[in-house]
Structures are given as C-alpha cells and as structure tokens.
Amino acid sequence: MKHKEYDVAIVGGGFSGLVAAGILKDHDLDILIVDETNRLGGQYLKTHPIRSNPDTERNSLQEIGFRQIENIEGGRVKIMTRTRVLEINDRRELLLEHDLEQLFVLTPEIILLAAGAREKFVPFKGWTLPGVISTGAVQIMMKGSGVIPAEDMIIGGSGLFLYTVASEVITNGGRVSTIFDENSIIQKLSFTKNLIGQGEKLKEGFGQAARILFSPTRMRHRYRIVEARGENELEEISVAKVDRLGAVIPGSERVQPCECLAVGNGFAANIELGLLAGCSPEYDTDKGGWVIAAAENLETSVPGVFAAGEITGVGGAHKSITEGKLAALSILNKLGKIDDFQYADETRSLRKERKRHLQFGSAFNALTHLSPEKINSISDDTILCRCEDITMGQIKGAIVAGCRTPVAVKRAIRTGMGICQGRICTPVLYEIIGGFTRTPIHELTPLSVRGPVKAVPLEVLAKPISLLKPDFPNG
C-alpha cells in the first residue's frame, strides 16, 4: 500500500521558501521545508541567534520575513534545518541528510526549489591569499556572529552589493578605506533610474550611499584589483584603471598596503539541484547567467517541480517574495486547491510585480557582467579552480589543445572536480570558454551535476535510509 507522502517539499528557507510555506500551510496540505543552515531566513534574515543587533532596526522586508517564520512555525509545516538535499532524481525522489546523522527519502507530490544564489568572483592573481575574503562572508560574519573580519578593509569588485556591505561595515564601527568599483560612476548612476517607483529599495540605496558618503571611505570608479600579494597572508594589493570595456589600462597599476580585501562580482543562481532533478537551464545575462528555466507559473520543465527566487534569476529579496507567493498559488492551482479563476485573479498583480523585479534584476546584473575584455585581463598565473589549484594558463592551454566545451576542459584538466564541486569556478569558466572559443554561452551545455550535490562524509552516506512521512495526521 502506498503511504502518505508530503504534498509539497520546499528546498531552501530563504524569502521565497518562507513566503510560499506561509501561503501553502492553510490549505490542508502536508508541507516540508528544509534548509542547510541552523535556522530559517536565508542570507537576508541572517541575525545573531542569541543577540539581536539593537542598533540596526529591522527594515520592513525583515519584518515580513520574521513574521513569516513565526507564521509557519505554528502551522502544519514540518521545518527541518541543518538538512541538506543530497540528491534529487527525475522521479521527484529526494535524498535528505539531517545533521550529519540521518538519511531520509521522500517523494513529494510537488517540489519547490528555492535554493538561492551564491557569490560570483572574477579571479585575479593572489586572490587565494588568506585575507582575501568575499563581501558575502563579511556580511554573514557581521550579521551572524557580530565579528568584523578586520579593523580596516578595502572592498573591490563590481555590483551594488559592494556598497551594501561597505555601509554595514561602517554602521558596525568598522573602517572601509576604499571601494574599488570596476564600473564607472555613470553606469552606477544610470542604475538608479530602476529604483524609481520602488520606494523600499530607493530608501535602502540612499541610506547606504549616505553612510558611505559621510564616512572617510574613498570611492574609486573604474578600478580593478589586479593582484593580491603577501608572504603567507595578504599584505598589499595592486589596483589598476580599466577602460570603458573593462580592459586594464597598461601602466596604471598602483600598489598599496592592505590587510583585508573583500571582493565580489554579483551572484550566480544555485541551479545544481534543479539540473539534478532534470530541469532545463537557460542562460540569460539579465538573470545573472545560468538559471533554472521556469514558465509564467514558475513550474520548471519537469512537471511538479517549481522554482522560485534567485534560482530563476538573480533579482533580490523583493523578487524572491513575489515569486514565493506566485509559486505557492500556482502549486495550489495545480493541486486543485484554488480554481483557475481565483488563480488568475490572485496572481495578476504578482505577475506585474515580477516583471518589474526582473527589470530591476537585469540592471543589477548588468553591473557585474563579465565582458570578454575583463576575462582577457585575467593573467595566466591566476588560480581559477581553487580546489584543484588550476590556473587560467592551464585553462587557455586546454582550449588551445581543442577542448571547446566546459565538459571537455573539465575532463582534460580537472577544473571544477574538487570538493566544492565547481561552485566557485564554473560560472566564470563558462564565460572564459565562451569568450575564447567565440561561442555564445547559451550554446555551451552546462556541466552535468552528479549527486551528492554537496560533499558528504562517507560515514553519513552509509547511514540507513528511512522514509520521511508527514508528522501530521491527514485531515
């Protein structure tokens, strides 16, 4: 006899997952939400678990988020934190690992993938030196643990997130001596037109700008970090001017001391679970690169598998909230809980909102776009794949030797075959291969994903697998 399964399994407890769970929970459905971290909320709601930060008021977005968490904690939603999806197959079966102790299998009727995004990096010589850290790591360490990585730091890269983090460092009493932004001030200013009519974002943006402007932080536009140097850890950096296309202007390099450098170049969607589930990806620079393709109702190419949030296109918290709502309503419609009229009615404004958020995302992602000129300026002795210590020169060599696809390069020189499973180097690898072989990136087949999606100790993989059934008696 077939046992009762979960109706919906939500992968990822960030904004879109939370909002979706909040809507789904009131419809007599068994819902499961899993998250890899210790508590729900994703990166945006990251706070110190014990000490809240009295200085920073919760903004209205955070209010929404925390209310959602309280909301679903009381409902028919099974919450599993410290839980990772190790595998999904094309039959919608999920293999979960909880707390490095237990393995569970389940086949929910619907899967909602809301796995978020990770930071993207453009490598430069010496970026592997201790002391070079990501802007995201700085933010997480401050928000989550109340620690600033250094008394004085420099921030470099591209995109608006540099300013978000700089502003938070300053608020928390840290010092950011310089922000080196690869974009021109004009590119950045032209972005602000996308904020018109988006009150919350505009307020947030002005707040950040004001904090940075009224601090001793210097802003340098059209500068790139070209090298990090030091004996065993970071001691100094070399920065250079870049031209309009992103190429380094020869002779413009300058060296300055630096004990901590935070870098970031936008975000890449966490598409791996979707690929493993058999969902078709799409490449769209407006969406931040490779994402999981989703229809208007956010269903992927695999029936019963939906996607919401950054995974369908990098676009920020507002987009995630809208997509969480839209996905939940689409799921209710698919499960027959709301009829087509109600569905059309309730999603009309959400679809409009989503379009606006996608436009915002497109402008946001344009600031971190990797031009061929930028790719070209990565020196041959720069390590690209940190796990396997593989350099740009080796990758170019493989391409010259006839490897025209990501999989061919990977097999030839092992890029992306280390313990991070290519999460850090592949987003830039696609751009490199596309650039040097003059192939549009959407024509490159993304690397296939093999489970386990994240590295897992053998001991854990050998635990007995038990069936995960809903805790709540079905009404």
Partner 1 sequence: MSHLRIDAHPSENQVDIYINGEAYTAYEGDTVLAALVASGHKSLRHSRKIGEPRGPLCGMGVCYECLVTINKKPHQRACMTEVEDRMEVLTGEA
Partner 2 sequence: MLPKFADVVIIGGGVIGSSVAYHLAKEKIGAVVLEKEDFISGSSGACEGLLLLQSKKPGIHLELAMASTRRFPQLSEELGSEIEYEQKGGLVIIESEEELDAMKLFVEKQKACGVDLTLLDRDQTLEMEPALSPHIIGATYSPFEGQVNPFLLTRAFLGAAEKLGAKVFTHAEVRGIGISKRHINAVNTTKGRIETPLVINAAGASAGVIGDLVNLNIPVKPRRGQILVTESVPPLVRYCILSAAYIAAKFNPSLAESGGMGFAVEQTKNGNVLIGSTREFVGFDRQTTFDGVNTIAGQILRVFPRFKDLHVIRAYAGLRPYTPDGLPILGPVEGLEGFIMAAGHEGDGITLSPVTGEIIAKVITREKIPFPMDHFKLERFDTAS
467 binds, among partner 2, partner 1, none (CB under 5 to 8 A by kind): none
> How far apart, in Å, are the Cα atoms of 66 and each of 14, 26, 139, 142, 147?
11, 18, 19, 19, 23
93 binds partner 2 (CB under 8 A): yes
Q: What is the DSSP string of 188-233?
A: HHHHGGGGTT-HHHHHHHHHHHHHHHTSS-EEEESEEEEEEE-SSS
Q: Which of 408, 436, 469, 472 binds partner 2 (CB under 8 A)?
A: 408
461 binds, among partner 2, partner 1, none (CB under 5 to 8 A by kind): partner 2
Instruction: Give the nearer residue to partner 2 in terms of CB position, either 393 or 451.
Output: 451
Which of these ranges, 8-16, 124-132, 434-442, 455-463, lies near partner 2 under the rule CB under 8 A? 455-463
Contact residues toward partner 1 (CB under 8 A) are: 36-38, 43, 48-51, 53-56, 118-119, 121, 128-134, 136-138, 140-142, 144-151, 172-174, 232-234, 386-389, 418-420, 423-424, 454-455, 457
421 binds partner 2 (CB under 8 A): yes
User: Cis omega (within 30 of 0) on the bond before 427?
Assistant: no
User: Cis omega (within 30 of 0) on the bond before 250?
Assistant: no
Instruction: Give the nearer residue to partner 1 in terms of CB position, either 28 or 389.
Output: 389
447 binds, among partner 1, partner 2, none (CB under 5 to 8 A by kind): none
Edge-first strand order for the sheet with 236-241 is: 223-229, 236-241, 254-257
250 binds, among partner 1, partner 2, none (CB under 5 to 8 A by kind): none
196 binds, among partner 1, partner 2, none (CB under 5 to 8 A by kind): none
Q: Which of 340, 458, 473, 475 binds partner 2 (CB under 8 A)?
A: 458
Instruction: Give the nearer residue to partner 1 in terms of CB position, either 58 or 454.
Output: 454
C-alpha–C-alpha distance, residues 291 and 284, integer Å: 8
* In the complex, minimum distance from the CB of residue 119 to partner 1, in angstroms, rounded to a whole number: 6
* In the complex, minimum distance from the CB of residue 357 to partner 1, in angstroms, rounded to a whole number: 23
Q: What is the DSSP string of 382-450?
A: SEEETTTTEEHHHHHHHHHTT--SHHHHHHHH-TT-STTTTTTTHHHHHHHHHHHHT--GGGSPPPP--
| Residue at token pair 């110190």 | 48
Which candidate, 382, 385, 324, 388, places its Cα nearest to that of 357?
324
Beta-bridge mates of residue 133: 262
74 binds partner 2 (CB under 8 A): no
Instruction: Give the nearer residue to partner 2 in terms of CB position, either 308 or 447.
Output: 447
272 binds partner 2 (CB under 8 A): no
C-alpha–C-alpha distance, residues 255 and 262, integer Å: 17
What are 188's two structure tokens?
């950045």
Q: Which of 59, 452, 469, 472 binds partner 2 (CB under 8 A)?
A: 452
* In the complex, minimum distance from the CB of residue 98 to partner 1, in angstroms, rounded to a whole number: 14
Strands (DSSP E) along 275-376, which ranges?
Answer: 281-284, 289-292, 305-307
450 binds, among partner 1, partner 2, none (CB under 5 to 8 A by kind): partner 2
Type of residue found at 121: F
The sign of the torsion formed by the CA atoms of 90, 93, 97, 101 equals negative
* In the complex, minimum distance from the CB of residue 96 to partner 2, in angstroms, rounded to a whole number: 10
Type of residue found at 65: G
Query: Which residues are CB-neighbours of 396 under 8 A, at least 6 positions away?
Result: 380, 436
Which of these ranges, 89-97, 127-135, 190-198, 367-375, lies near partner 2 under the rule CB under 8 A? 89-97
452 binds, among partner 2, partner 1, none (CB under 5 to 8 A by kind): partner 2
407 binds partner 2 (CB under 8 A): yes
* In the complex, minimum distance from the CB of residue 434 to partner 1, in angstroms, rounded to a whole number: 23
462 binds partner 2 (CB under 8 A): yes
455 binds partner 2 (CB under 8 A): yes
Collapsed DSSP state (helix, strand, coil) of residue 378: coil
97 binds partner 2 (CB under 8 A): no
Chain residues in the site for partner 2 (CB under 8 A): 87, 89-90, 93, 95, 103, 105, 387-388, 405, 407-408, 411-412, 414, 418-419, 421, 450-452, 455-459, 461-463, 465
